[in-house]
Structure 1
Amino acid sequence: MDTLVDGELALRPMRADDFATMARWLSDPRVLTWFGGRDRPMSLLDVTAKYQPRLAADSATTCLIAELDGVPVGYVQFYRWRDHATDASVLGLSTLDNPYGLDVFVGRPELWGTGLGSRMVRLLLGHLFGTVGARRVALAAMAHNYRAQRAYAKVGFRRVRLVPGAEVHEGVARDEWLMVADRGSYSRAEVGTA
């Protein structure tokens, strides 16, 4: 996959030399509050074991690093839900129309609340709806993560179903909102931001 660019923001394929940055982000309690859990910090060894297989050409998950002016600031991954059947069944997501899924986080807390997360998702949606030809993209947001839900809504996601106890996060079964964007809602969100 080529690098996706929007001004000073770029989403580029993850490389092995990004693992140290990922380990720094995924051991930061502020980031782990929302992604992974503070009870599961990841070392460089953990990150390498988890993400190295995802760099293979035949991986079902595409991993990208977000850069702002060439400096890594976040992570985003995408995949077809049918390749993650367990997740799809937990969320009650039909795989009949073959939706894509995505996960995202801004790894630098000082950039939270700046609109960066929305920009990252918008840039990826442009690729998925435009280049890949996806019709629908779905994600799950913890019910109490209002900032993430607002960021996703800005780019056309809508909450479609509250799924009780969908994810165990920090030892607690957390409710999640299944949120979905389709080509039409993405296009309207794009028009609304111009």
Structure 2
Amino acid sequence: MSILQSGPLTVRPLNENDAVLLVRWLSDSRVLQYYEGRDRPHDMALVQEHFYEYVEDEGVTRCIIEYDGQAVGYIQFYLVVEEEREEYGYDGFNGSVYGMDQFIGEVGCWNKGIGTRLINEMVRYLIRERKADAIVMDPQAWNERAIHVYEKCGFVKKKLLPKHEWHEGEKRDCWLMEYKGLAET
């Protein structure tokens, strides 16, 4: 069963068998440079803890991205909770705010437009199926490649989040990016 299907792109729920994919992707230093950090390679125990056992993230929908039938990456989306709403500046906003995080784990699939297609389709899904009023992401400020893709998909930089995320031994600045133009989708 898939959550989203659009041409060669499929987003389906994470299952136990996907743990080996996550271990492979999250032990590749090229992937870790952008997601989790090269100082944090994942073995099976860490993948189990981070993606399958972490009870504080009960509202997170974890998925595998497939392209042309091949598993190529990971995406998660979630309703932004009160604490994050305040930090992000949505404390007075009455609508639903969704967040998402993703990575393409198959390095051979980078720079092929899959990420752009994924973001565009997930935005449509969150608006139509989950009734999102706003969609946010918080990429690290140095990650120009990701920021470029998000901007190409209609996200705008809304707020700098100083020292927001631990990455490779230090707290890094992130951009809060927001999808605007929900009515057009």
Calculate the TM-score normalised by the size of structure 2: 0.90
What is the CA deviation profile of residues 53-75 of structure 1, one whole-angstrom value per residue up to 9, with x for unaligned ones?
A: 479xx930001101111110011
Q: Which residue of 1 aligns with 2:30?
A: 30
Aligned sequence identity (%):
35
Q: 1:92 aligns with which of 88, 93, 114?
A: 88
Matches within 5 A, 1:106-145: 106-145=104-143
Alignment CA distance shift 1:186-1:148 (3 Å): farther
What is the CA deviation profile of residues 118-145 of structure 1, one whole-angstrom value per residue up to 9, with x for unaligned ones?
A: 1111111111001111110001011111
Shift of 1:88: 4.5
State how far apart, in whole Å, the 2-side matches of 1:66 and 1:3 are.
10
| Contact preservation (8 Å) 1:54, 1:63 | no
| Contact preservation (8 Å) 1:4, 1:10 | yes
Instruction: Please state if 1:68 is matched with 2:67.
Output: yes
State how far apart, in whole Å, the 1-side matches of 2:85 and 2:107 are.
29
Instruction: List gaps (5 residues or longer) in structure 1.
Output: none
Q: Which residue of 1 aligns with 2:148?
A: 150
Calculate the TM-score normalised by the size of structure 1: 0.86
Alignment CA distance shift 1:54-1:7 (3 Å): farther
How many residues are paired up? 182
Could you say what the CA RMSD is over the residues aligned between the two structures, in angstroms? 2.1
Instruction: List gaps (5 residues or longer) in structure 2.
Output: none
| Contact preservation (8 Å) 2:133, 2:182 | no
